[in-house]
């Protein structure tokens, strides 16, 4: 079971190339501050702009650097089923602990198409698969009934739910195996998601406030609801600031303020504006991150 605070790892760039030195610095920072797992090559890692070679090497480097200290959930999704299979088999072969597979974007598959997409991937790997349901970016929304059918496969073991629908985990839990893993994909409602039966959060904010995000998750698991609420309130303005412009622009700028990497993103994402920079910096100052 995956749980707690799991940063959705940013991909650092330098002069439009992957900056592997900064990648190692970021990963060590996240582990040092008690992250419960890590997700390379997800949306926050700008996976749509990575070449196949870069995608695979980032996951390889993550596996090497982490060295089994925390679980690695490799982003291996694609809107091309065969490509998703290739990425997933690669992640399995190099020692990732699970695969995070996004619902196919742009193609707009039906529920039958979604089912067959994940079934085909499941049939080609023994790696645990976490469904990534994010209608805001993929346009399609996996229904509860489709997810429950997919959960019958032994290696489809959970969901990253970025719908921001807090009723959904309750409705899903009524019809699914008890060991199915529910991870939030929304920092702003991560604590509320736990109250609805969630197990943790794949987080953008945890790239720059890993200890606070981990502390909030741990406080909830320990039954210290008051402390969890206090940390949640403390983080709330920061959560909001990191999505004023398209992610990961703001969080990469925040990481640059911590000396972790350059704020550089790849086109079509572009440098965030000066007002957003000031907002992010002020929010970080308020909670003593910088």
Nearest to residue 192, comparing CAs of 165, 154, 155, 171? 165
Contact 174, 145 (CB under 8 A): no
- Cβ atoms of 168 and 193 within 8 Å: the answer is no
Cite the active site residues.
Answer: 132, 160
């Amino acid at each position: 079971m995956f749980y707690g605070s799991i940063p959705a790892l940013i991909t650092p760039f330098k002069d439009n190339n992957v900056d592997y030195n900064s990648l190692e610095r970021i990963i060590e920072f996240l582990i040092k501050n008690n992250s419960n797992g890590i997700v390379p090559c997800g949306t926050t890692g700008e996976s749509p702009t990575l070449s196949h070679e870069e995608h695979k090497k980032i996951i390889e480097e993550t596996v090497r650097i982490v060295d089994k200290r925390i679980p690695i959930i490799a982003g291996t999704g694609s809107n091309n089923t065969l490509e998703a299979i290739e990425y997933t088999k690669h992640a399995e072969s190099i020692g990732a602990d699970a695969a995070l597979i996004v619902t196919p974007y742009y193609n707009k598959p039906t529920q039958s198409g979604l089912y067959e997409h994940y079934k085909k991937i499941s049939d080609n790997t023994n790696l645990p698969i976490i469904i990534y349901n994010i209608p805001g970016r993929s346009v399609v929304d996996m229904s509860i009934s489709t997810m429950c059918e997919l959960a019958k496969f032994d290696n489809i073991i959970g969901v990253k739910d970025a719908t921001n629908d807090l009723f959904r985990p309750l409705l899903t839990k009524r019809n699914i195996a008890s060991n199915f893993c529910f991870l939030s994909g929304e920092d702003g409602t991560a604590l509320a998601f736990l109250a609805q039966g969630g197990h943790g959060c794949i987080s953008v904010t945890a790239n720059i406030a890993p200890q606070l995000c981990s502390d909030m998750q741990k406080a909830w698991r320990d039954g210290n609801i008051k402390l969890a609420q206090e940390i949640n309130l403390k983080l709330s303005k920061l959560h909001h600031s990191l999505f004023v412009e398209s992610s990961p622009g703001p969080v990469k700028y925040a990481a640059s303020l911590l000396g972790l990497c350059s704020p550089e993103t790849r086109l079509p994402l572009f440098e965030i504006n000066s007002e957003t920079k000031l907002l992010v910096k002020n929010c970080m100052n308020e909670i003593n991150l910088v």
